[in-house]
Amino acid sequence: MSKPVPIPLEDAQARLLQLAGPLPVERVDVEGAIGRYLAEPIAARRTQPAADLSAMDGYAVAADDLAGPWQVVGESAAGHPFGGRLAAGQAVRIATGAIVPADAQAIILQEDIARQGDSLRLTGDPPVPPHKHIRPMGVDFAVGGQVLAAGVKLGPAQGALAISAGHKHVPVRAMPKVAVIDSGDELAAEPDCCAPHQIPASNGAMLAAMARTLPCRVTRIGPVADTMEALAAALDAARDADVVVTSGGASVGDHDLIKPALAAWGAEIDFWRVAIKPGKPILVATREQAGRRQIVLGLPGNPVSSHVTAYFFMLPLLRTLLGAARPLPLRFRVRLAAPIKANGARREFPRGTWDGEAVLPHSLQDSAALAALSASNVLIDRPAHAPRAEAGEEVHAFLLENGGLA
Ligand SMILES: Nc1nc2c(c(=O)[nH]1)N[C@H]1C(S)=C(S)[C@@H](COP(=O)(O)OP(=O)(O)OC[C@H]3O[C@@H](n4cnc5c(N)ncnc54)[C@H](O)[C@@H]3O)O[C@H]1N2
Ligand code: MOO
């Protein structure tokens, strides 16, 4: 393959995601489905609250009887409603979450009441408006109404909502099978047994860990030598994977064999080279097999390039297979804590540390520098030919942690 012109990031992402159809639907119990994406919208099977509930501990009275005094004639506790009727001058002791009796429309806080035996006297202010401390029936959701859309990630809150809406199981996509292959003659499988001419094979563990932030089944293969035979055996071991992720050998050197090895395996290159730094040599290929499509991501071997391309391509691809409505990472605007130099012709993603206020670009931006990557929590987005930016100026950035990876 002659060297193609690198394509813009968003075009490359769109091309990749277009190759991926969501995986089949399965029904999973809600707790087991946390972290996955809803394959279909979810409608409420019940109304919440199912009746008017008190939002505070106090006394339930009629809305036209707010001045008191009152006699306590019963109690409505959570799970134990008051079954009787209320006449003028009567009140019901009520707990937070308990059903408001049929004849009551107001809750007086217990802090605003003096109680002696069953006699109550108002000492504070009555509620304004009278229904202030009442959660009306159906205020959260009503039976039949949609509570969650297709493609939404089922996080803790969404899982709680599905349960509250009466669902024991939810429809989600099958978990993708991911095979991660690291390749290179210089790679040592054991980090504590690494000769001077070797480097510990760290990309496989890193890429697998990134994939495992999403619900998928990851197989690690390698490290694999830079030979066609070794790569063929590794790819054969990945024959059942939905997604094959390789690292290393994606560039133009004599030992960069990923492209010919993929061709020999029957995979077709969709695109190679994206106009980003780090990560330019990334390639995407597909292999059609028994009516199903495998997608191959050939990531560059430099550890930071591998990480950045996994962030911009592997994770969005896995989210798409899982049925996510929004597979791409979100960008936000942030102030620079220090100046950043003018950018070259390739869109660059310098690593930096954001402290919640401003982002400090790391002094070392080498695409092999794992220590600098590890000390960073954002990727700053520097457009091609961006001029020098001063401290205090705003730039765009992508979050690598605190949910940015997910
Ligand atoms: N003449 C050119 N040379 C290079 C170009 C180019 O356009 N023209 N592109 C450069 C860029 S950009 C990158 S990025 C690298 C990526 O190349 P490869 O994907 O072929 O990666 P390797 O050469 O196999 O390895 C690069 C570097 O990373 C280390 N590595 C590889 N695998 C692992 C692993 N599993 N764990 C840890 N470290 C790994 C490897 O030892 C090398 O040091 O190409 C440039 N060259
Ligand atoms: O693009 Mo390479 O990924 O600069 O290091």
> What would the pLDDT profile of 54-65 be if each residue is shown by its tens digit?
999 999 999 999
**What is the model's pLDDT at position 272?**
93
Query: Which homologous superfamily is 53-135 in?
Result: Molybdopterin biosynthesis moea protein, domain 3. (2.170.190.11)
Predicted TM-score (pTM) of the model is 0.93
**What is the model's pLDDT at position 406?**
33
The arithmetic mean of pLDDT across residues 341-366, rounded, is 95
Statement: 331-399 belongs to CATH 3.60.130.10: no
State which ligand 2 atom lies nearest to the alpha carbon of 302: 5
Answer yes or no: is the C-beta of 305 below 6 A from any ligand 2 atom. yes
State which ligand 1 atom lies nearest to the alpha carbon of 302: 28
If you measure from the C-alpha of residue 353 to the centroid of ligand 2, how many angstroms do you get, rounded to a whole number? 20
Answer yes or no: is the C-beta of 309 below 6 A from any ligand 1 atom. no
If you measure from the C-alpha of residue 294 to the centroid of ligand 1, how many angstroms do you get, rounded to a whole number? 24
Tokens describing residue 206: 């890193």
**What is the model's pLDDT at position 402?**
55
**What is the model's pLDDT at position 296?**
98
Instruction: Give a three-class secondary structure readout of the chain.
Output: CCCCCCECHHHHHHHHHHHCCCCCEEEEEHHHHCCCEECCCEECCCCECCCCEECCCEEEECCCCCCCCEEEEEEEECCECCCCCCCCCEEEEECCCCECCCCCCEEEEHHHEEEECCEEEECCCCCCCCCCCEECCCCCECCCCEEECCCCECCHHHHHHHHHCCCCEEEEECCCEEEEEEECCCEECCCCCCCCCCEECCHHHHHHHHHCCCCCEEEEEEEECCCHHHHHHHHHHCCCCCEEEEECCCCCCCCCCHHHHHHHHCCEEEEECECEECCCCCEEEEEEECCEEEEEEEECCCHHHHHHHHHHHHHHHHHHHCCCCCCCCCEEEEEECCCECCCCCCEECCEEEECCCEEEECCCCCCCCHHHHHCCCEEEEECCCCCCECCCCEEEEEECCCCCCC
If you measure from the C-alpha of residue 393 to the centroid of ligand 1, how many angstroms do you get, rounded to a whole number? 33
Q: What's the whole-number average pLDDT of the chain?
A: 94
**Residue 26 — pLDDT band, cuts 50, 70, 90?**
very high
Question: Does 53-135 match 331-399 in CATH topology?
Answer: no
**What is the model's pLDDT at position 400?**
92
Domain ranges (residues) in the chain: 9-23+174-321, 38-47+140-173, 53-135, 331-399
**What is the model's pLDDT at position 403?**
45
> What would the pLDDT profile of 354-395 be if each residue is shown by its tens digit?
999 999 999 999 999 999 999 999 999 999 999 999 999 999
Query: Which homologous superfamily is 9-23+174-321 in?
Result: MoaB/Mog-like domain (3.40.980.10)
Whose atoms come closest to the Cα of 201: which ligand? 1
Answer yes or no: is the C-beta of 273 below 6 A from any ligand 2 atom. no
**Residue 254 — pLDDT band, cuts 50, 70, 90?**
confident
**Residue 405 — pLDDT band, cuts 50, 70, 90?**
very low
pLDDT at position 404 over 50: no
> What would the pLDDT profile of 78-99 be if each residue is shown by its tens digit?
999 999 999 999 999 999 999 9
**Residue 2 — pLDDT band, cuts 50, 70, 90?**
low
pLDDT at position 104 over 80: yes
User: Of 7, 280, 299, which is best to mutate to test ligand 2, by the most ligand atoms within 8 angstroms of its C-beta?
Assistant: 280
Task: Name the phi and psi angles at 321, rounded to 5.
Answer: -60, -30
Answer yes or no: is the C-beta of 300 below 6 A from any ligand 1 atom. yes
State which ligand 1 atom lies nearest to the alpha carbon of 306: 14
**What is the model's pLDDT at position 29?**
98
For the ranges 107-116, 185-194, 302-311, the lowest mean pLDDT is seen at 185-194
Whose atoms come closest to the Cα of 278: which ligand? 2
Give the closest residue (by CA) to ligand 2 atom 4.
278
If you measure from the C-alpha of residue 44 to the centroid of ligand 1, how many angstroms do you get, rounded to a whole number? 52
If you measure from the C-alpha of residue 368 to the centroid of ligand 2, how many angstroms do you get, rounded to a whole number? 8
**What is the model's pLDDT at position 227?**
93
pLDDT at position 274 over 80: yes
Evaluate whether ipTM surpasses 0.90: yes
pLDDT at position 153 over 90: yes
Give percent above pLDDT 70 in the chain.
98
